[in-house]
Structure 1
């Protein structure tokens, strides 16, 4: 009996050591996959992937055999989840399979930028990797919009109806899903700005606030002066003066070549605020939070003019005489 127990004990020790070293062996099998993005197809399993990697000479037959034995003892590790995964560093075979089993798919990102037009945003959307493209034009963007009924007339085109931000998604997500998320973010930011607006603004509804904010966005990327730019336009609207802002002129010109001419300023298109009083019929770019809040909360000033200093900031003036002097200094180089 004692001899039998010793044999059983010895056998148990051997089996235990065999199990320990086999597990340690499998845990240390390296798997150096090329690239950092890898797709696990529907119906895949750990063993099927192992055979695939063996065919690619990434693993040996004996390594796959050891994995098979390992999975006999750990059947819960045999399943993997379909998806697209990111492997950014060297991993072992078990680390890769653990990732595939977790379902933690790779995250991709799309960044929409303040001041860009909807067409520019659509190009970014169409160039986004691993995104299912089901949006091709501005009309589809507008059709997805859920404009609250109590906000007044619905927008007539999709410009500025996306919020500039970085959006994360997994492979094969729909472009329309990102558009909806961006629109919800825009509506939330727009409503917040509208609720926080100062009284007596010459704006009838949230859409007009968005239009004004888009002009501010295009005129200044320097946050400290956005409220001053807003005050100039609000003061002009209250005096029924033309806004006379170049970005609106540019927006209405197809294939603009980069140089505004006198003919451009005289072009009667609806967005030309040199020809038409009041706000243009729609926004002209994507709008960030700072410009929305500036439009809602402009500085209280007596300013009606501004001119670029050439360094990203502007010189503001209360009178036309002051403005002409600023133009001579910063644009004409003190020429009479």
Structure 2
């Protein structure tokens, strides 16, 4: 019995038979393929029917029994065949056998009943459960939120946690992605598109990947950067790249809305007089893990991003600024402050002299 069963299973898994059945079903089979298909012994046909309706019945709703794997969103594009779907499901680790998926669809008559759209799935699914999801499950509209001040690496990790992208693939693409002329090419930047992926709430339906998500965020940034904002930057003799770089520093330094234009003014004044920006977030950007307080040795890291060691702006933005930080740079406060320090609660204290600044540091730290 075991040998007979094994023989029939080998027969079912034969790739040539699968192609013959598929061709005959579509009405395009060759005479030889028709001979193969219609020459199947009656006993084998009976066995197939038993397999279809007894061993692997579809229940009408996804069962998803067993331990769930890594969440993955899978998109079925209009016109995809069950063979193409099974191949992609297998390549993404959702199922372990595209042949079993194909047979399950064919023998149950569901090859033309798979819905187009995006489905919430997971790795390690049984082909039967995967098919049930695609036939009976609901398509989803994906929503993800990118907070202001997120770096490319943080965006990639957030999207990966949501099951939307592979973080390494996203970061690799971000290294050289320059969607608009104002995303200037500078040496030593970690990610070309850093700062130009707008922080917002996004919704996706249909097909997507890291490239589409990145493009969508960059297009949103370009739309948010209004003509008035571009004109104002030109009046201030700031390029868009410089504007976004400065705004990213303000975004990381300011915890409260009222602090943004004051901090922006301090940075602009330091640039004007040739004083190092001495912005802690530019050093934090170099660290694998952020620190509550930087050590003196951290400020000695040899990097163009270290604004303690280098005068002027870092090579590029260090995070994605929101509209408020962009506007703070474009419309800075009018004060005499040149120094600031934040306490543990994010409240900033300002000083006009270095001596007063040191006194504040002692008080709040």
Report TM bin, short chain: 0.5 to 0.7
Question: Which residue of 133, 154, 164 corresponds with 2:185?
Answer: 154
Q: How does 1:1-336 map to 2 (within 5 A)?
A: 81-84=115-118, 105-129=139-163, 131=164, 136-148=169-181, 151=182, 153-154=184-185, 157-170=192-205, 172-190=207-225, 192=227, 194-195=229-230, 197=232, 201=236, 204-255=238-289, 258-331=292-365
Instruction: In structure 1, list runs of 5 or more residues that go unmatched.
Output: 1-30, 45-77, 87-99, 332-336
Instruction: After the TM superposition, list the runs of 4 or more consecutive aligned residues in structure 1 that deviate by more than 6 angstroms.
Output: 31-35, 37-44
Distance in 2 between the 1:110 and 1:271 partners? 30
Q: Give secondary structure in 1 for the equivalent of 2:304.
A: coil
Please tell me whether the aligned partners of residues 111 and 165 of structure 1 are also in contact (alpha carbons under 8 angstroms): yes
CA-to-aligned-CA distance 1:22-81 (integer Å, 9 cap, x gap): xxxxxxxxx98779x99997689xxxxxxxxxxxxxxxxxxxxxxxxxxxxxxxxx9884
Distance in 1 between the 2:150 and 2:73 partners? 33
Bigger Rg over Cα: 1
Distance in 1 between the 2:294 and 2:75 partners? 53
Q: Give secondary structure in 2 for the equivalent of 1:307.
A: strand
Distance in 1 between the 2:75 and 2:179 partners? 36
Q: Give secondary structure in 2 for the equivalent of 1:281.
A: coil
Instruction: In structure 2, list runs of 5 or more residues that go unmatched.
Output: 1-59, 65-71, 83-111, 121-133
Please tell me whether the aligned partners of residues 220 and 229 of structure 1 are also in contact (alpha carbons under 8 angstroms): yes
Task: Check 1:144–1:241 CA distance in 2 against 1; reply closer, same or farther (3 A cut).
Answer: closer
Q: Give secondary structure in 2 for the equivalent of 1:299.
A: coil
Distance in 2 between the 1:163 and 1:319 partners? 36
Please tell me whether the aligned partners of residues 159 and 165 of structure 2 are also in contact (alpha carbons under 8 angstroms): no
CA-to-aligned-CA distance 1:92-117 (integer Å, 9 cap, x gap): xxxxxxxx99xx94211122121121
Distance in 2 between the 1:147 and 1:80 partners? 39
Q: Alpha-carbon deviation of 1:288?
A: 0.9
Q: Alpha-carbon deviation of 1:272?
A: 1.2
**Cα RMSD (Å) of the superposition?**
3.5
Task: Check 1:166–1:305 CA distance in 2 against 1; reply closer, same or farther (3 A cut).
Answer: same
Task: Check 1:221–1:82 CA distance in 2 against 1; reply closer, same or farther (3 A cut).
Answer: same
